[in-house]
Amino acid sequence: MPDSLANQPNLQEFYGSVSWGVRSIFLYYVGWFDGNPTNLFPLSLSQEAKHIIDLAGGEKALFIQLQEALKEGDYQWGLRLSDYLLEANHKNLEVTKLKIELLRAIAGQQINAPARNYYLSYAYELGKKIEIIP
């Protein structure tokens, strides 16, 4: 799209996004397989988490990286790290609280209404789960 149109406020990706649409079309025609042989029989999240945690130097080291990601505004990476730690049952309450912060922060950066809503709704549900929110 030319810059003259791409920069128009009324043409921003408010409801959905181009990347979501393209992926949906691709998956419709091709199916779940993305062409990467690694994904034919992927590791479970639990197996992947164990390997990543070992690679990072252990759960404590990964937890420090999670805190750094939040502090540095690297929210998507922080969400991924929180998933690994939660899968390993490492400091579930503390990690869940950090994940809630990450979800709220990344929601604040979103123009896309469904994405923003999902981040905030998920944060709310996590808060209820750990009884931060009544």
User: CATH code at 113?
Assistant: 1.25.40.880
Please check whether residue 10 lies inside any domain of the structure: no
Host domain of residue 86? 45-134
Please check whether residue 20 lies inside any domain of the structure: no
Please check whether residue 36 lies inside any domain of the structure: no
| pTM for this entry | 0.79
* Number of domains comprising the chain: 1
Please check whether residue 77 lies inside any domain of the structure: yes
Please check whether residue 59 lies inside any domain of the structure: yes
Please check whether residue 96 lies inside any domain of the structure: yes
Q: What is the pLDDT along the chain (134 residues), one digit of tens a residue?
A: 788 887 787 777 777 777 878 878 877 777 778 878 888 899 999 999 999 999 999 999 999 999 999 999 999 999 999 999 999 988 899 999 999 999 999 999 998 899 999 999 999 999 998 887 65
Q: How far is residue 28's CA from residue 63's CA, in Å, rounded to a whole number? A: 38
